[in-house]
Structure 1
């Protein structure tokens, strides 16, 4: 999955851990969120770069040895820091990760006052339009998304997201 956000206010004052907890959870099955991350709050603020991954099997043993047990959600700046680019590892992702992806998009668009595109910057949503269109996922509980995903994982096709993007990897 991919999303683009036009940056109108170039300051991102988000804590990466708080963002991740909004995307997934604080506590689940009496455990804190097990999170792998590339970058931190400082990277997010200074370079608009962050990579988050919920380590599913460390919080829920039912994820052990399942495909899609990991899904990175990565943020990078493009076009001279005028846009944020967010992508996942796979084209089709599980509900639990799609929910997290859309929450990240919503939170970042809120902070930068930006418009959102999900189709390669051909069409744009205001934040309100995005929230209305994806209300069902944005309002779904983590627990419901996780349970759905444990069923989806059995049939969802694993197709990698192509590497044709504008990100400059240093």
Structure 2
């Protein structure tokens, strides 16, 4: 992907690389981006804030790419009006098609209502809007605000957005 960005001067995500299991969730994110005038067929994903408030992943850790694979970490500077930020942990409610609760007590109330068949898909999807509120969620349930992972979705990435490149070999 980085090669394409440097070759063409911009990177637009390829929907062919989409994971079919999460197609519904990704399409939901595309609709959310469109609501905010960020039109695209598929988003480019990046980190705004990673583990424990750090701005980028720790390349010494495993799991970024298959071991031995050469990768490129891009440090970006993107204008705020070109990006949609959301809480990564909360995004998993969208991926799992589950209600996004503010707290453990709220989650238990929703679970009781779900058992009675009282929670609608419309209500579940409405709860997902909270992933965009970077202060949403009880810290005892979701963790401290300053330590939460924040993901960034962009309609495209411009070469001019790249501030620094770091080449690495995955562990």
Smaller-chain TM-score range? Answer: under 0.3
Which has the greater radius of gyration? 2
With normalisation by structure 2, the TM-score equals 0.23
TM normalised by structure 1 equals 0.23
